[in-house]
Every structure is written in C-alpha cells, then in structure tokens.
Homo-oligomer: A and B are copies of this chain.
Amino acid sequence: MLMSYSQYYLEQRPQGPATDKDVRVRTVEVEALNEGQLLIKNDYFSLDPAIRGWMSDEPSYMPPIALGDVIRSSTVGTVVESRHPDFAKGDIVYGLNGWEEYSLSDGYFLTKVPKDSPFPLHYYLSVFGAVGLTAYFGITDAADLKPGETLLMSAAAGAVGSLGGQLAKNMGCRVVGLAGSEEKCQWLKADLGFDAVINYKTEQGRLNDAIAEACPNGVDVYFDNVGGDILDAALLNLNSNARVVFCGSISSYNANEPVPGPYNYWQILAKSATVKGFLISSYFERFEEGALAVAELLEGGKIEFRDEIIEGFGNTLTAFNKLFDGSNKGKLMLKL
C-alpha cells in the first residue's frame, strides 16, 4: 500500500447546516498510482459557502457532490508521488480536490505554485485563488463599474466582499459595505477605507432606508453575495441602468425548502437594470492575468486581505459552519 489517509465524504444531504451525520470521516487506502496520476499531501483546504450548495441535490453550475464522494474543495499541497508527466515530486500545486489529508489527482485543473513565489502557500486558496479572482473579475469586468459610481457590497467583511470593495475604491468609486457586526464595520471603514458601512443586523427592518442614507446618489452596482432581505432592499435603491453582480446567495444555502427569488424582482425592469450571474469559471483563461494584477496591488500596499486559518483536520465542520453565522473574519481555510 502506498498511502492511507482520512477524508470527509457525503453520507447524506444536509437539511440546514451540515452536521457530522451528513459529512463523515473515513479512511482511504491508495495501493499504487496508475499512469497519469499523482498524490498530493495537502497543506490547506478551502472552506467556502459554495461547498454547502454542492452538498444539495439542486441543479447548479457544477454537479452536486454524489453521496459517498469526498467533499469537493480547493486545496494547496505538495506532490509526494507522481506518475504524471507534468508534475514531479516536490512540486507545490493547487486545484480542486477535497477535504482530505492527501489527494489522488489526474492533474486536471491543477496549477503549480511558482518556485520563486514570495507569498505564503495559503494565498493560493484565497487572494490568488477563486476568491481573489472572483473579487477581481467581478469588480473590474462583470460590474461594468465606472469611477465616481456607487458600489454597494454585501458580505463586505467576507473574503470576496472586502477585496472587491478595495478594488472599487482603487477605481475611484464610492463604496458602501454591509456587514454583520460593529467590529467588522469598523474594520471596513477604518482599515479598508470604505466610504460608509451598514450593520445589517442592527438595521434589520429598515435596511431600505439605511441603504438610501448611505448611498445618497443611489446604487449603481450591487454586488450580491447573500440574496434574501438585503438583495430586496438593494433592488429598491438601484439607479436606472444599474448592474447587479449575482455572485452568491449565502442566506439561502442552508434552507430546507425552495427559497423564492427577491420580492422586488420587478425593480430589475423598473430600473432597466441588469442582473449578471457571475461564475469565476467563465474567466478560467484569464486567471493568470488576474492573479498577477492582484499580486501587484497586494505588493504595492493598495489592498489588504484577511485570512482566517483554523488548524486541525477534525475541526473542519465546526469551522465550515462559521461561514453561515457570520462569525468568520476573512477567507476561511483549514490547515492540516
């Protein structure tokens, strides 16, 4: 036997937050590598809201995780054995693997970390990974954002939101962020330079007015990571020809029944607005360009980025569920 390791797999589809009845640990044994395979020892794996979506049996942009399959996730790690022509033992690689100590890979969608990279490994799951590039292409391309316009960012203290807001500030926009605690709001305003912030918990019930007050010139772009009440309030504040970048809907990922679309859906027509479904996979061919641009901004001190790293394989599920109660502070990853 070449290796035995632990992995989280999907035992049953969660109703609400994923529990240890839904997502269980098992031991996997790899006898030997086939031609074209490689084995990666993972250093970090990623905890993202989208993973909860993949646990459900709903038609989406990727197939659901099949029952019995490993929980799908990005990882970064070191090649320990390879029979793949493009990867050698010792290469550091990142890509779509799973919540597991080791990953057996055929190299598909796998990228090497440059040998001379001055950045910590986990950056390749956060600021240079899907999260960073979602913020980058979401703001610089999909949003069609122009200097002087107002951007309203939901989940603004989250990984995508905090980076996206800073990118828009760099473009000369007014940036207003929604977050769920005073500490987060303070961070966005004082440290990241957001023009205004809204605590959506204390403003619950008057979100519409709170947005109107924070966006005196209306909302030109709403970047939607959350759906739900915040989306409804944002739609009521759109300017004519506004754009909604529809990037996620974290408020509904743990729902047990079908969640209706926004009650204010009509505002899309009333404001001649455009809602664009945003999938980072559409930008696959521009990933390198995006990562270089983000790295340059990072090195120039133009943006800052907050990672939250939880250690210990056994803490995966507890850490994952922090995404849904708003208690994480930045891009969440698990360190093995």
Contact = CB atoms under 8 A, between A and B. Distances in A.
Contact of A261 (B236, B252, B263, B273): B263
A246 interface: yes
Given A59-B267, A249-B266, A275 B272 contact: no
A94 B152 CA distance: 41
Contacts of A274: 274-277
Nearest to A257: B263
A253 to B, nearest CB: 10
B61 A272 contact: yes
A273 B266 contact: no
A27 interface: no
Given A260-B260, A263-B260, A270 B236 contact: no
A273 B277 contact: yes
Nearest to A246: B269
B258 A60 contact: no
Contacts of A59: 236, 267, 270
Given A269-B246, A270-B61, A272-B282, A262 B261 contact: yes
Q: Which of A59, A262, A275, A276 has the most CB of B within 10 A?
A: A275
A305 interface: no
A259 interface: yes
B259 A263 contact: yes
A227 B269 CA distance: 11
Interface in A264-306: 264-279, 282
Nearest to A263: B258
Nearest to A62: B270
Contacts of A247: 269
A116 interface: no
23 contacts: A59-B270, A60-B266, A60-B270, A61-B271, A61-B272, A241-B282, A246-B268, A246-B269, A248-B269, A249-B266, A260-B262, A260-B263, A261-B263, A261-B264, A262-B265, A267-B277, A268-B277, A269-B278, A270-B277, A271-B277, A272-B277, A274-B274, A274-B277
